[in-house]
Amino acid sequence: MAYKRRSWWARAFLRNFLAWLAIAFALFPAAFVLGTSFNPVNSLSATRIIPRHPSLSNYVRLFSETSFAAWFLNTVKIAGISAILSVFFCALGAYAFSRFRFRGRRAGLLMLLLVQTFPQSLAMVAIYRILLKIGHYLPWAGLGTHPGLILVYLGGSIGFNTWFMKGYFDTIPRSLEESALVDGATHFQAFWRIILPLARPILAVVFVIQFITFYSEYLIASFVLKGDKSYTLALGLYYLINEHYRDRWGIFAAGAVIGAGLVLLIFYALQSQIVSGLTGGAVKE
């Protein structure tokens, strides 16, 4: 009996130790950046988790010496519009694949997955040429514009998320919308007033995933956007420390903390919807 008790305590200690070790490993980079943002010594060699003389000087310099406010607003605008449009178009496609039976349905689903196997980075030259051509006819949506970047983001986000939403829509009973159709509603009215309110968890999941993806995306934005005032947060912070990381590390950390704060707020506001959305479509009833 004593041996079993010691064995249980040993296993419990090992589990808790590994759990706290994983938590510390995950939190250390965040704590390092947070402490650096309050360190008035704006140098990489003098960074520490707990600064000796904490100060807000890095945050003051971030807004006074850089275009951080413009970068942040550009990022929220681009990521927000792209995520909202992505959710809407994915919901339309997922509803069609989930509820309707038409020729080419299976092939279309497989094609969506096949397209997603190729990353957008492989199409950078094609994207550049397409935006350049669009700019000749629609200057406001061509190369170097925010609408042009939003179009590129939408093109690469619809495929997998349509599959993702379809699995959730399959769990919603058809009898609900059939009752609405009997009462005289159209398919779009049933989709808008019946299906979408019930599918809020999966809509929240897709929105958060897409928002974070677009919020932190750098590669495509780097060759689409031109000019300091049009940069996103990722682009602006990169060029801020490019070849100056030794003497701008504190300012960079301050910008990273503010940028991460918005994502944390979104997660906190939608956490209940995210949990139910991730698990709701896992098993079809």
Q: Which residues contact 54 (CB under 8 A, 6 or more apart)?
A: 38, 39, 40
Q: What is the pLDDT of residue 279?
A: 61
Residue 29 included in any domain: no
Q: What is the pLDDT of residue 45?
A: 65
Q: What is the domain range of residue 241?
A: 58-280
Question: What are the φ/ψ torsions at residue 171 (nearest 5 degrees)?
Answer: -85, -10
* CATH number, residue 191: 1.10.3720.10
d(CA 245, CA 239): 10
Structure tokens at 214: 């677009």
pLDDT averaged over 10-residue windows placed end to end, the chain, 285 residues: 65 80 85 86 70 86 92 96 94 89 83 76 85 91 92 85 87 87 86 89 90 91 89 92 76 92 86 68 47
Tell me the three state secondary structure of residue 72. helix
Structure tokens at 111: 């094609």
How many domains are contained in the chain? Answer: 1
Residue 39 included in any domain: no
Q: What is the pLDDT of residue 276?
A: 67
Residue 52 included in any domain: no
* Closest among 92, 279, 271, 280 to 172, alpha carbons compared: 280
Residue 250 included in any domain: yes
Residue 40 included in any domain: no
Q: What is the pLDDT of residue 125?
A: 86
